[in-house]
Structure 1
Amino acid sequence: MFVSPRAAVRRRALVAAGAAAVLALALPACGSSDDNAMPGMHHDASASATHSADPSMSGMPGMDHAGDGNGLAAAKDGYRLTSADSTLTAGRPAAYRFTVTGPDGRPVTRFALDQTKRMHFYAVRSDLTGFRHLHPAMASDGTWTAALPALAPGSWRVFASFTPDSGSGKGEDLVLSRTVTVPGRATDTPLPAATTSTEADGYTVTVTGRPMAGMAHPLTVRITEGGEPVTDLQPYLDTYAHLTAFHEGDAAFAHLHPTTGVDGGHGGPDLSFHAELPASGNWRLFLQFRTGGTMHTAALTLRIS
């Protein structure tokens, strides 16, 4: 039985609620796409990177095969992510339209709020050097539209993360995905080497801790600027940071949450997480945080043994 990373984190967070050492690692209402206007939210982690299609992420329309979990399936527990869009226009913004159908075959129109949103939509390039996190708008018939910025040519995997608010899957966290192609010349870009520190918009993000595959370990993220601790992080999606991870090779998905309490615009410099990534190897982590009304995205490669 597939259990989403978010559901697993929530259960473990409840068990560890009284222990400060146990922490959670790591998109307003239906129809919102506010992140599209946030500076820094939709830039590639490597601005000059292009890529080629990865066979493990490619496929004919409707031919995405179910993985062992971690969002690598177009269908799960009777719910299916469907879309007529298998190709996006290169070099300009595009609207990706999709529907989630339920076990009865009908479009689902009732979704529960998760971190203030009813749908979190992600797009990641096959080489993990491109990343987007959006909150699409839903029409009354259950059709969602994600307003994607211009994407580099190559193969991308798109993920829909949601919780049905009716039907047999009510309350169940689900992550479904499909592949989409952006035409054009594409060059593969090697994943940046594993590291514990990275720079983003003048901020330094440092990760400490030694997570191991399939095991829960504490992990801390520290954010500094010019060598000084940052203490003015602003709330984003009811937390001080949003962390998403993708596994090198298959793009397995992990959506993880910090447990640090929110106290207005006074977050940082340290954010505590409960790290549990299911597979060994390299994971590309994308940390999103906000200061002065501006969204920042920091990316680094974490090696999990």
Structure 2
Amino acid sequence: MPSAGASMPSPGGSGHEDPSMPGMDGMPGDDGLSDSLDGYRLTSSDAALPSGRPAAYRFAVTGPDGRPVTAFAVDQTERLHFYAIRSDLTGFQHLHPTMAEDGTWTASLSTLAPGSWRMFATFTPAGGPGGSKDFVLSRTVTVPGTSRTTTLPAAAGTTTVDGCTVTVQGDLTAGMEHPLTVRLTRNGEPVTDLQPYLGTYAHLTAFHAGDAAFAHLHPTTPASGDEGGPDLSFHAELPAPGNWRLFLQFRTAGRVHTAALTLHVAG
């Protein structure tokens, strides 16, 4: 599996999109599949990005007054988290873009494979009518070229990345809170050299197969020092049944690794 920020080659749109308006999505909700919620909107003039080379995606968050938001609360060491995911749930990228004084953000993306991509921004406004509320908004972009769809791997409890075996344990039911445990081993031995990453020992996000709905699974294992692991705990509440693609990011020896596996959630 590739490391963080790597782009993996990657079925159709989310079902929430208006095809007559590129990048504009349907009804607001908390699954991230809309560009607007409670007066806040994710705006961008980028409806397409080039394939075969790195690209910059520029966007802004506007508030209920229509003006760009420039004050954001810090969440897991960052003011805004940005994710790019292809419609078949490959090509995952998790970035921390930079913001200009006028509120324009720039996300420097690695090479994107041709196809339909969804760009997510997660943030909490600092003050204003939406202050202290967590938002997940997204827009779609098209990357031109011949698109090859990758079949979602079957649900499995383990995967390997960069020599580390990741084992996920937890039986999840849609809409209910469950604990989720991740264990890391290397050559059969427990991994105990995890370094803090974004204020914790691991970052875990999930995308729903079929529509790419977004969920962030919150860590409950505190981070202190460079001797984390091998067991990590997460608070998991996935809203819809079916398969979800999980992306676990963790750091060892100064390098961030990204492990991906498919988890089935009961109805």
- Same fold, TM-score > 0.5, yes or no: yes
The DSSP-based 3-state class of the residue aligned with 2:194 is coil
Cross-structure match for 2:191? 230
Q: Distance in 2 between matches of 1:243 and 1:287?
A: 5
**From 233, 239, 245, the counterpart of 1:284:** 245
Determine if the alignment matches structure 1 residue 245 to structure 2 residue 206. yes
Determine if the alignment matches structure 1 residue 127 to structure 2 residue 88. yes
Give me the CA root mean square deviation: 1.4
Determine if the alignment matches structure 1 residue 158 to structure 2 residue 119. yes
Structure with more strand by fraction: 2
Q: CA deviation at 1:57?
A: 6.2
1:175–1:83: structure 2 CA closer, same or farther, 3 Å change rule? Answer: same
Q: CA deviation at 1:53?
A: 3.9
Q: Distance in 1 between matches of 2:91 and 2:54?
A: 15
Determine if the alignment matches structure 1 residue 42 to structure 2 residue 1. no
Determine if the alignment matches structure 1 residue 82 to structure 2 residue 43. yes
**From 173, 177, 181, the counterpart of 1:220:** 181
Q: Which residue identity is paired with 2:70? A: T
**From 145, 169, 176, the counterpart of 1:184:** 145
Q: Looking at both structures, which has the greater relative contact order when contacts are Cα pairs under 8 Å and sequence separation is at least 6?
A: 1
Q: Distance in 2 between matches of 1:149 and 1:68?
A: 29
Structure with more helix by fraction: 1
**CA shift digits 1:110-160 (9 cap, x unpaired):** 111111100100000100022000000000000000000110000000001
**From 103, 113, 116, the counterpart of 2:64:** 103
**CA shift digits 1:32-88 (9 cap, x unpaired):** xxxxxxx921124xx4x33x5436365333531125431111000000000000000
The DSSP-based 3-state class of the residue aligned with 1:141 is coil
1:249-264 matches, within 5 Å, as 249-264=210-225
Which sections of structure 2, spanning at least 5 residues, go unmatched? none
Q: Distance in 1 between matches of 2:106 and 2:14?
A: 26
The DSSP-based 3-state class of the residue aligned with 1:257 is strand
The answer as to whether partners of 2:159 and 2:261 remain within 8 angstroms in 1 is yes
Cross-structure match for 2:227? 266
Which sections of structure 1, spanning at least 5 residues, go unmatched? 1-38
1:57–1:43: structure 2 CA closer, same or farther, 3 Å change rule? Answer: farther
The answer as to whether partners of 2:23 and 2:140 remain within 8 angstroms in 1 is no
1:172-211 matches, within 5 Å, as 172-211=133-172
1:56–1:94: structure 2 CA closer, same or farther, 3 Å change rule? Answer: same
Identity between Structure 1 and Structure 2 (%): 68
The answer as to whether partners of 2:14 and 2:211 remain within 8 angstroms in 1 is no
Q: Which residue identity is paired with 2:6? A: H
Q: Distance in 1 between matches of 2:259 and 2:34?
A: 27
TM-score (norm 2): 0.95
Q: CA deviation at 1:170?
A: 1.0
Q: Distance in 2 between matches of 1:157 and 1:62?
A: 8
Q: Distance in 2 between matches of 1:130 and 1:87?
A: 16
TM-score (norm 1): 0.83
Determine if the alignment matches structure 1 residue 294 to structure 2 residue 255. yes
The answer as to whether partners of 2:247 and 2:259 remain within 8 angstroms in 1 is yes
Count of residue correspondences: 263
Q: CA deviation at 1:180?
A: 0.5
* Misfit runs of 4+, over 2 Å: 52-63, 66-69
Moved more, 108-117 or 256-265: 256-265
Determine if the alignment matches structure 1 residue 146 to structure 2 residue 98. no
